[in-house]
Amino acid sequence: MSENFENELRRALRPVDAPEGFTERVMRALPAQRDPVLPPVVNQQPAYRLVKRFGIPMAFAAALVLSVLLGMHVARVQDQRMAEEREAAGLAASRELMQALHVTSQKLDLAYQAVKTPPSPAGDEENRT
Amino acid sequence: MKILIALTLATLAATAPAAEPVALKGQLRIPEFAALANKASESVNVTLDPQLLGMACRFLNADDPEQADVKKLCTSLSGIYVRSYTFDKDFAYPQADVDGVRRQLSGPGWSRIVGARSNKENTNVDVFVLLDNGKARGLGIIASEPREFTIVNIVGNIDLEELHSLEGKFSIPNLGIETAKKPEPPKPEPPKKK
């Protein structure tokens, strides 16, 4: 019984050649192979060359222009501040001048009053010239 | 050796104290009275050297008649110095300092044009002018009262005619400053009758 079963199993599992045209049929049944999707190839070489050639000088030029503009701005602000300071100092000085002349006039007035006032009989005016 | 000497001289020159500003003719050595400013109830301290005075003149308003006259006057001046202090107590200021300034005004060239002493009010006012070749080069005013003292020094070519023009302004009194009149040309003599 078991010998019979083994023989049947061996016969069923024996290697069998593929029928003719099997490979072609299988290959036809497979979906067509797609080409691998590659990222678009960009030609970077000219830009890279430009950066490599002019990058540093351009950076220097930009820095120079920026420095000049910044310097001009700082100079203008400084000039404006100095002009304001000069004006404030000038106005303060002119106020001082007017104040000085007021004090001078007060004291001249005092001298004038002292000279013009007739001397009292008690003789409290000691000396008037 | 020469290099050493040169270096030593350069170091000495660099460390030498800066020369004191040369006082102008007519300029008094007025003490700063810095300590008095704290004691005084009111104080006026004006120091206008030639540079500041020039700046002050430029900033005067020519449209204001009072300032316009001052502008004309101050172009010939080279300095204005005022120290004025008012105190709450009598004689709180050092009389010696005031006398020190007064002594400078007794020097050559200075003439006292007004001097007033009041024993009753204990007030002294002196007005001095520094004359140089008949022209006023400096003006000094010292006014001392029990609670106030003032020193004014105006330096420069003081045109008495212009000062005269300020009379009435700033309450400057008419001091009777007479300006020199130009001599009139001699009248032609009438032809003698023969």
The nearest CA of chain A is from the CA of B188 a distance in Å of 42
pLDDT grade for A19, boundaries at 50, 70 and 90: confident
Integer Cα distance of B96 and B102 in angstroms: 10
Q: Name the DSSP letter for residue B131.
A: E
Contacts of B173 in chain A (CB under 8 A): 105, 108-109, 112-113
Find the mean pLDDT for residues A79-84: 94
Mutate to test the interface with B, among A87, A97, A98 (most CBs of B within 10 A): A97
Helix residue ranges, H only, chain B: 2-15, 34-39, 50-58, 65-74, 95-104, 160-165
Q: pLDDT at residue A32 above 60?
A: yes
Top pLDDT among B138 and A112 is at B138
pLDDT at B80: 93
pLDDT at A66: 95
Put simply, the answer to whether B143 touches A110 (Cβ < 8 Å) is yes
CB neighbours of B139 closer than 8 A, spacing ≥ 6? B26, B127, B128, B129, B130, B152, B153, B154, B158
Put simply, the answer to whether A108 touches B141 (Cβ < 8 Å) is yes
Show the CA angle centred on residue B182, arms to residues B181 and B188, nearest 5°.
130
Q: Name the DSSP letter for residue B134.
A: T
User: Mind listing the pLDDT tens digit for each residue in B111-156?
Assistant: 888 888 877 778 888 889 998 887 888 999 999 888 998 999 999 9
The nearest CA of chain A is from the CA of B60 a distance in Å of 6
Put simply, the answer to whether A124 touches B127 (Cβ < 8 Å) is no
ipTM over 0.85: no
